[in-house]
A and B are shown apart, each in its own frame.
Chain A
Amino acid sequence: MSEKEITERIMEDDEIHKKGGEVSPALISIHPLEESIAVAIGSELRVFDLVGTKPVVLHDHAGGPSHSDSIRSICFGAKGTLFASAGDDKLVKIWKVDSWKCIRTVSSEKRVTAVSISHDGLFVCLADKFGVVWVVDLNSQGENQCPVDKSASPLLGHYCSIITSLEFSPDGRFIVSADRDFKIRITVFPKKPLKGAHEIQSFCLGHTDFVSCLAFAFSTDDSSQGFLLSGGGDSTVRLWDYLSGSLLDTCDIGSKLACNGDKSKVKEDGCSVVTDLCVCHNGSLVSVSVQSFHGVILLNCNLIAKTLSFSMAIPIVGNFIPTSMATGNNSDHLWMVMGASGLPSADPNVMYPVRVKVIAGLKKFHSDIEVQNLSILKDDDIPGSKDSLMVLQGSLDVEKDEDSLVHTAEALKTAMRNLLIKRQYSVEKREVRKKSRNDRKLKRKVV
């Protein structure tokens, strides 16, 4: 291959990478007491009031600029009084849940990849694409100061690595951050977080690829601190004692899927990446979404024996691969969403297809009994019925979207791979890249 050809190919590669990078998955989050449910797609937030069974109107005018690019992270505070959304437009918006009024818009220097609200509702933490976690003190300022505040102070840093997930421990003592360099860091959340979080409790090391999601398994019945769960690009879900950083158990989802006869669905190119985790049933059940599996996988989590084991795979028809999952505290329902914004081939005038599905029967789930207890609700039976679907999906006419969901799944796979997996170059490509390095180009121009 001539040098020119290589250069051209590199440029093509980069073009594809750029396109893929803009695709962003739909997200779902539910109020801890199931009072409301939120879906984020692109720059749009869709919220439905499950108590009053009516759409929620967001009041954004008082809180600075609105989201203008893909939302990458949404969450409710543990008490359900606050909600936060953040993403590629480098804005973090904090909403009061009772009025759905935006009370604060914080601007970040870099794109925001994850956001989390401290349990006491006093602080919001955000992680940026350069590996720095920032903290915002919600008490520090009134509502009507400058529209865009830059008041976030640095809390901790993963050295130049994309942070993929950010969570507070159930007791609120620790903040946990996961990155694409296979690391999970447990940091003591200090009393005065504006001065930084300097005390590292542990590192949870064991994933052999990027870490994509975190969740805590704990029982509300006892006072133990619970355990940490993580999923990643190595297609495993791992259970950790996060105080010591020791790995308690590993469940290899990729091989389990292959054993279960779903080989056709699990492609060879390592696509059983774990994309989300959701802990249900008082910490004993973990639902897992996997990039190549149409449905969800359930794992049993035994908090006493400290083990994690495969329970069952629940297939869902209609090309449904959840991009995000949510459940309330000890709820009977598992909410799932599938969708993506920024699809390269999509018509900008047409809305991105979003599909919401709910699995019911979590409370009665028992690993010994057959699947019957669990059911995938029909659209009419979903809480809030068709009204909620109308709001969250943006449309009820989803049949025709099923084909485009296949497309969505593919685009998401590419986007995630481009974002989180280190690119490998052949020797010749690397040489050409070195020659076309930016700093050299600049020098030439100066001369």
Chain B
Amino acid sequence: MTRNGKQMEMNKNSSHHPRKRFYRARAHSNPLSDSHFPIPISPSEVDYSHHYPYFYPDGWNSNVNSNDGTASKIQFADIGCGFGGLLVSLSQLFPDTLMIGMELRDKVSEYVKERILALRMSIPGQYENISVVRTNSMKYLPNYFTKKQLTKMFFLFPDPHFKEKNHRRRVISPHLLDEYAYTLQTGGIIYTITDVEELGDWMRSCLEEHPLFQAVPEHELEADPVVKLLSGATEEGQKVARNEGQTFQAIYRRIELED
């Protein structure tokens, strides 16, 4: 059995928290390459009862059948959730909101999965509203979420992809913002933060120029408890803080097109 296997075995037997050293992964993954992991055909095909057993005690089908529009749906998505720091903090802040992390790197998403399971075991009744999927959200977001489903999307410390030739790998781009606007409710908010100034400028200008997004005014940001988590909650953010680095935020609201 591999080391990783051993670690997973351990996790099953107890509520030990997974350790990152057993989930070492490359720092980056190519979002352009063909994906060989399973992808749901459409959002209705995703069985979320596996992800949120507490919210779907009777399984997925029964919930769908009795669906009168009140069934809980995922409202927050953390795109490129990394090791899941933000999800864990948000879970406490919005205990009744379903949220999901999306991560392309296999081992990292595996870590987050184990981490959430361990948290649920150690504090029963909590952390039931967070989960993770391994997917390429740049390609398959519409396969997971319906139109105007989400209220918040997070893009925290994404890969900077400095070279111009690689700009199309950036997770914030004019074309991808169209898809994010499709998945966000009117009034929904997109949060971005980075420690790379160049990328910060890029994300801000993409959002600024997009007709379906509008900057959230300063006073609202001050009142928003989520904003405080952006720099502090994630592993990447803590690393930046340790090195006393600067961060650059761009927080925009989904608006309707004016005629």
Q: Write the residues of chain A forming the contact surface with B, with a CB cutoff of 8 angstroms.
A: 130, 132, 154, 156-157, 159-161, 181-183, 185, 187, 195-200, 202-203, 205-208, 245, 422-424
Chain B min CB distance to A216 (Å): 21
Q: Is the CB of A159 within 8 A of B175?
A: yes
- Interfacial chain A residues near B11, Cβ < 8 Å: none
Given A157-B176, A182-B41, output 13 extra A-B contacts at Cβ < 8 Å: A157-B173, A159-B31, A160-B31, A197-B178, A198-B177, A198-B210, A200-B147, A200-B182, A203-B182, A205-B41, A207-B41, A245-B147, A422-B35
Q: Total number of A-B contacts with CB less than 8 angstroms?
A: 65
Interface residue? B189 (CB, 8 A):
no
Given the contacts A154-B174, A154-B175, A206-B42, A159 and B147 also touching, CB distance less than 8 Å = no
Contact of A161 with B139 in the complex, beta carbons under 8 Å: yes
Contact check, A202 vs B147: say whether CB atoms are below 8 A apart: yes
Whether B41 pairs with A156 at a CB distance below 8 angstroms is no
- Report B146-177 residues with CB < 8 Å from chain A CB: 147, 168, 173-177
With A205-B41, A205-B42, A424-B36 as contacts: A200 and B139 at CB distance below 8 Å:
no
Nearest A residue to B175, CB-CB = A157
Q: Does B58 contact A (CB under 8 A)?
A: no
Q: Complex: how many Å from CA A181 to CA B168?
A: 18
| A159 to B140 alpha-carbon distance, docked (Å) | 9
The residue in chain A whose Cβ has the minimal distance to the Cβ of B181 is A198
- The complex places the Cα of A182 from the Cα of B143 at a distance, in Å, of 10
**A312 smallest CB distance to B (angstroms):** 30
Enumerate B179-216 residues with CB–CB distance to A below 8 Å. Answer: 179, 181-182, 210-212
A160 contact set on B, CB distance < 8 A: 31-32, 139, 168
Sort A-B residue pairs by CB-CB distance and give the 10 closest, nearest first: A157-B175, A205-B42, A200-B182, A203-B142, A422-B34, A198-B178, A160-B32, A159-B138, A159-B139, A198-B212
- Subset of 22 A-B contacts with CB under 8 Å: A130-B168, A154-B175, A157-B175, A157-B176, A157-B178, A159-B138, A159-B175, A159-B176, A160-B32, A160-B139, A160-B168, A161-B139, A195-B211, A199-B181, A200-B179, A205-B42, A205-B142, A206-B42, A208-B41, A422-B34, A423-B34, A424-B36
Q: List residues of chain A with CB within 8 A of the CB of B31.
A: 159-160
| Chain A residues, Cβ within 8 Å of B42 | 205-206
